[in-house]
């Protein structure tokens, strides 16, 4: 059997994994991948697809089989044991927050794990879950190499004026800064632009990563200049259950009303965004064709604030050559793309309704002053690349 790289992406309610075959040098080929979804819910599900997108397994799980990430890992591990007879060369993990210490992928050891555990409060929906598989493998198979790949790393190229808050120097030194997130996705898009649209890649590009978590990133020459997300993955655009940008005074008011830290955190991370505005659902698929006025408000708010966030990034780029939509909503919701682009029509953006409805790669009309594109993202591919590069070339040291 060929050598493999295993990629793990543990979220708040899902555990995704991809396996890539490799020659151990620089070649990677997708072999299969899948996920356990609905973790902690009433209807967890396990599904795996092969390299030709053929379904290898599709199985409803009992709730007790996927009550938490540890049990879900057992489901994945047991299945992997039936198809992989050789331990992977390494396991690469998506880690949402790298804090101030890491600007690139890094091999996991005790010190790294300790630093990453200390960042849980900065990404409470993600960091602990991202690290759960790392801990399990580290404790049970300490000889297997593990690589942490960070969503914050791509944005470390931002200039200082975009990185700082207007707070005393002490807080910056303590790590209070505008990190930005979804960096693995943005790195993939930057690579695809260089490959498929080299003229655009060198230009002024805004990428809108629109999924259950949403953000936008301003790029030039494939490097991050600015992002809508800041210190945590709560900031910026409205999301499925997260509020996005909000006056910090609202949190002070909540504290004055006697709300606890945990109550406020739960509200802002899990009960806000589309879910909070609509009172119906956190899922765009449930809201975009719903005639209920609350659903219409939620969708209108979503599109308006995405466009507002994109516009705010143009100070960094000093103009716009291309707008790219990616991630689940960005790739699959013609309505969201249409509404966002309507708000940006003053920039000369025009999209073709037929191209938009059929999710074509290029959405813009021939006379549009700005190119508008869909580029499907692939964070797992980036993680696999970074993992292989690190174990073969020794890259990925911590910033000191």
For the annotated catalytic residues, the residue numbers are 151
Query: What is the rounded distance in angstroms from the CA atom of residue 121 to the CA atom of residue 262?
Result: 11
Residue 318 contacts residue 204 (beta carbons within 8 Å): yes
The tokens describing 334, both together, are: 């013609």
In sequence order, what are the residues at sequence separation of 6 or more whose Cβ sits closer than 8 angstroms to the Cβ of residue 139? none
**DSSP secondary structure string for all residues of 364-375:** B-TT-SSEEEE-
Instruction: To the nearest 10°, report the CA torsion of 253, 255, 260, 266.
Output: 30
Query: What is the rounded distance in angstroms from the CA atom of residue 288 to the CA atom of residue 199?
Result: 35
Instruction: To the nearest 10°, report the CA torsion of 357, 358, 364, 366.
Output: -110
For residue 253, the surrounding DSSP H or E stretch is helix 248-256
In sequence order, what are the residues at sequence separation of 6 or more whose Cβ sits closer than 8 angstroms to the Cβ of residue 98? 116, 119, 148, 150, 151, 152, 153, 179
Query: What is the rounded distance in angstroms from the CA atom of residue 217 to the CA atom of residue 313?
Result: 7
Query: What is the rounded distance in angstroms from the CA atom of residue 311 to the CA atom of residue 334?
Result: 20
The tokens describing 376, both together, are: 């499907």
Q: Give the dihedral sign, CA 13/132/395/141.
A: negative
Strand duo 322-326 + 204-210: pairing? parallel
Residue 22 contacts residue 3 (beta carbons within 8 Å): yes
Task: Supply the Cα-derived Rg of the chain in whole angstroms.
Answer: 21
């Amino acid at each position: 059997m060929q050598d493999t790289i295993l990629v793990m992406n543990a979220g708040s309610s899902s555990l995704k994994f991809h396996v890539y075959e490799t020659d151990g040098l620089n070649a990677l080929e997708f072999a299969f991948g899948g996920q356990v979804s609905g973790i902690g819910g009433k209807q967890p599900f396990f599904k795996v697809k092969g390299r030709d997108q053929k379904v290898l397994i599709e199985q409803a799980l009992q709730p007790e089989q996927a009550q938490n990430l540890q049990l879900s890992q057992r489901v994945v591990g047991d299945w992997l044991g039936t198809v992989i007879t050789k331990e992977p060369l390494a396991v690469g993990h998506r880690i949402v927050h790298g804090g101030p210490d890491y600007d690139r992928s890094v091999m996991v050891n005790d010190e790294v794990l300790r630093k990453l555990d200390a960042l849980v409060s900065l990404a409470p929906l993600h960091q602990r879950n991202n690290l759960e598989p790392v801990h399990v493998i580290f404790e049970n198979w300490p000889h297997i190499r593990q690589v942490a790949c960070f969503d914050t790393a791509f944005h470390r190229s931002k200039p200082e004026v975009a990185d700082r808050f207007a707070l005393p120097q002490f807080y910056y030194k303590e790590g209070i800064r505008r990190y930005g997130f979804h960096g693995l996705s943005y790195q993939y898009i930057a690579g695809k632009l260089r490959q498929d649209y080299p003229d655009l890649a060198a230009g002024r590009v805004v990428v809108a990563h629109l999924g259950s978590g949403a953000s936008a990133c301003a790029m030039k020459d494939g490097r991050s200049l600015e992002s809508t997300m800041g210190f945590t993955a709560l900031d910026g655009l409205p999301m499925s259950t997260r509020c996005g940008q909000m006056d910090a005074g609202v949190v002070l008011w909540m504290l004055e009303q006697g709300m606890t830290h945990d109550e406020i955190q739960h509200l802002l991370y899990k009960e806000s965004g589309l879910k909070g505005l609509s009172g119906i659902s956190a899922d765009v698929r449930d809201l975009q064709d719903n005639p209920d006025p609350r659903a219409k408000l939620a969708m209108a708010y979503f599109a308006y604030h995405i466009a507002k966030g994109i516009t705010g990034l143009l100070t960094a780029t000093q103009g716009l050559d291309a707008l790219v939509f990616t991630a689940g909503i960005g790739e699959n919701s013609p309505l969201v793309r249409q509404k966002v682009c309507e708000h940006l029509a003053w920039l000369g953006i025009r999209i073709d309704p037929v191209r938009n409805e059929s999710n074509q790669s290029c959405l813009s009309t021939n006379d549009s002053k700005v190119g508008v594109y869909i580029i499907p993202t692939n964070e797992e591919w980036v993680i696999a690349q970074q993992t292989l590069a690190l174990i073969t070339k020794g890259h990925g040291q911590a910033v000191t």
